[in-house]
Amino acid sequence: MRQEYIDAVRGIIAMVPPGSAVAYSDISDLLESGGPRQIGSIMARHADGLPWWRVLRASGEAPSGHERRAFEHYRAEGTPLRGEVDDFERTGEGRWRVAFPAARWAPSDDDFAAVDAIAAELHRALDAPGSP
């Protein structure tokens, strides 16, 4: 995967504020490039230093294998949740999810300007002569 794409995805993820979340597909849609699988691949390999718990499947499920850690972040940030939240908090058992669309990041005009700049830079790099 090209470094420019990885950097663009990381740039978008870094913009998602506490208490909000995005689906993998939201990121690829904002960049007008790639798809959810590419975003997932980047998250699996290049999420160091990023708020990884804010990037989810569209169903609102926490990243597999990281449910407890993600849950702690969601509670600390006030992310809207649904399901057996109290049971999970008390016992570690119970099904819950992030409550999309309540938690879905709604970028401001300034955010969209920054996203557009990131996407434009990505597309310039991908369209450059001699690029693979």
- What confidence tens digit (pLDDT) does each residue in 70-115 have? 999 999 999 999 999 999 999 989 999 999 999 999 999 999 999 9
- Is residue 37 one of the residues assigned to a domain? yes
- Give me the domain span that covers residue 88: 3-127
Give tens-digit pLDDT for 7-35. 999 999 999 999 999 999 999 999 999 99
| Nearest-angstrom CA–CA distance, 21 and 10 | 14
Residue 127 banded pLDDT, cuts 50, 70, 90:
confident
Provide the domain count of the chain: 1
pLDDT of 87: 94
Mean pLDDT of all residues in 117-125: 95
Range list of H helices, 32-108: 36-46, 67-77, 85-91
Residue 132 lies in a domain: no
The CATH number that applies at residue 40 is 1.10.10.10
Structure tokens at 3: 């470094």
Radius of gyration of the chain (CA): 16
* Rounded-to-integer distance, Cα 102 and Cα 38, Å: 25
pLDDT, tens digit (0-9, with 9 covering 90-100), for 30-51: 999 999 999 999 999 999 999 9
Give CA torsion, residues 42, 48, 49, 54, to 10 deg: 50
Strands 55-56 and 22-23: parallel
